[in-house]
Structure 1
Amino acid sequence: MRSGSTTRRGLIAGALAAPFLLRHGPARAMEPVDIELVLAVDVSRSVDAEEQELQFRGYAAAFRDPKLIEGIAGGPLGQIAVTLFTWSDWHVQELLVPWMRVDGAAGAERLAQALDAAPRRNWLYTSISGAMDYAAGLFGQGYEGTRKVVDISGDGINNSGRPVAEARADALAKGIVMNGLAVLDHTPQPWANGLPPLDAYYRDEVIGGPGAFLMVAEGFGAFETAVKRKIIREIASAPPPGPLVERAYA
């Protein structure tokens, strides 16, 4: 009797699960990659249309760079997963490039073309904490990286949302590395009076985790050089010890 009861329970459980499996299919296996890389791009009001275009062109050019493609091929698995979103106010994040596998020149070109075609929009405030929280929720969506890295680029300090220290601590507790790309504006804005130097702020408040580092672009004209160097260093399978802060010039 017990055996028959067990069989009936199994049949009932299978019948109940069948509609779910028909709708959703079996759970998708996570694809291993060398790194899951989240690119978070500042589009607050301090980034004008020309500067925003320089950012998008810089990221697209980075993925067309043979050195970057060579760096991906040099990893143990020879493939990485990349996603990109823009951010501004605490509640404003826009996913422009969903997770994409990049395993060579063709995959890198697809990602670059997605960046070429992505919409350019500006918002108001600068919520680095909001960007961190949003980025932390993007991992584990189809890919499993040996490393999980968030690359936050911006030209201002946090002025919207919860404290950056709280958001960073939550991300680091999940094993996520926070890297930064600070873009220095050599035409000071009135609202910047009395604020800490941006490079020092990103170094002390934004980056964190094993091997974290900061790339400083000396103006938006240096952004393309900065982002190429930064991503090449991030995707290296065994990054050599490097400076905590690097600088790129136009």
Structure 2
Amino acid sequence: MAQRVVVPEPERRRRRPTKQGVVLSEQLIVETAIRLVGQQGAAALSVRRLGLALGADPSAVYRYFRGTDDLLLALADEMVRRALDGWASSGQWRTDLRDLGMRMHAAYLSHPQVALLAAHRTTGRVHETRAVEAIIGVLRAAGFPDTDLARIHGSFADLGLAFAALDAAALALPPAAAEADRTAWRDTYPRLDAQTHPNIAATAHLLTRETSRSAFPFALDLFLDALVARLSLQQGPPTTSVPTG
């Protein structure tokens, strides 16, 4: 998809409906692209396939996006928008960060093919910047020093996005491969000899159970517990007033 100059918003709106009777918009193209990527994978992110799905001349997509990468960034920002939809601060920083992390993970996992394409990208767009502002605001309100904010934010965001990509890759596996993975945990590990693998033998039933679901919630709680401990050390023990007189 070649680089093109995007037409300014007031000039790019298509006034005539497409063959399918819809009026093109940036949001419609993004939603259509998400649907196509979910059905066909990365190959669906092309002007030709989008044009067919929209019932429009493929060149019309260039009126909204400069190229494939521009559209991909829009898909990533749409995932953030969906994650933030309805979110409001509770006033409890640990609760808020956990909620934001779980929302982002869930948004991407609802579209695993999009997660594989876009979870590692930085969009710099309105919804991503809104999310970054919210996360840093929660951390500052909690009392973390500004000198720590970039590292904490980066670690928090990367933890969630990395798990989103990892879990999405598992969801996107062909059925036969997915079943082979499940069989390994269900059948191979429990049968290992306790003489050669005593630790696995003692915990195989637990490994089988835990590997059937995402480790992200537990990893997120470990991360947040570490932040609680870090903040407590930075703030020091509470001071008590000593009565005088």
Q: TM-score, normalised by structure 1?
A: 0.26
More helix by share: 2
Q: Which structure has the larger Rg over C-alpha atoms?
A: 2
TM-score, normalization by structure 2 = 0.27
Structure number with the bigger relative contact order (C-alpha 8 A, sep ≥ 6) is 1
Larger strand share, 1 or 2:
1
